[in-house]
Structure 1
Amino acid sequence: MNVTYGVKMTIAQEVLWDIDRVNEDLNLLEDCKLDSNSLDRVILRLETLLGITIDPKDKSNLHVVEDLIKLFKGKLQHTQV
C-alpha cells in the first residue's frame, strides 16, 4: 500500500505531475511562446519521463526531439479524459 504524507508524492503522482507540466509546455511550444530556457525544461522533462538523454546543441537530435514531442502529445491526447 502506498501512503503519502504532506507534499511527498508517490512515483505515479510524480509522473502524472510531470506529464501535466510537459503538456502545458507543449501547448506553449505550439503557440510559439517558449523561450530557449523553457525548451530546455521540456527536453529535461522528456528525458526524465522517457529515461533518455538528448543533447539540445546537437542538431542531429532536433528531429528526435520533434518526434518525441509529437509522440508524447499523441499519447497525452489518448490518456486524457
Structure 2
Amino acid sequence: MHKRLADIQAAYSALEAAHKELTARAEAMNKHAYLIGIDRDGKLNKFTFVRDGKFTVIETYGTLEDDPAAWKRELLE
C-alpha cells in the first residue's frame, strides 16, 4: 500500500511541475502579439492580432498588387 501511495505522490508532483511550466509558458506568450487572421474587405486589408486575450484589427488600404491569399499561406498555414 505504501508503494502505491508513493507512486501517486510522485505522479502528483510531476503534474504540479508540468502545471507550473505550462503556466509560465502561457504567461510568456501573453506578452507577445500573434497574427491570427488576414482578410480582404473591399479595398481594405485587415490584419487580426491577439495579445493577452484581446483582439486588435489593423486595416490598411489595399492595392491591386496585394495578395492576401498568398500572405495567409505564407504566414498562417
Give the structure-1-normalised TM-score.
0.31
Higher relative contact order (CA 8 A, sep 6+): 1
Q: Would you tell me which structure has more strand in proportion to its own residues?
A: 2
Larger radius of gyration between Structure 1 and Structure 2: 2
Q: Would you tell me which structure has more helix in proportion to its own residues?
A: 1
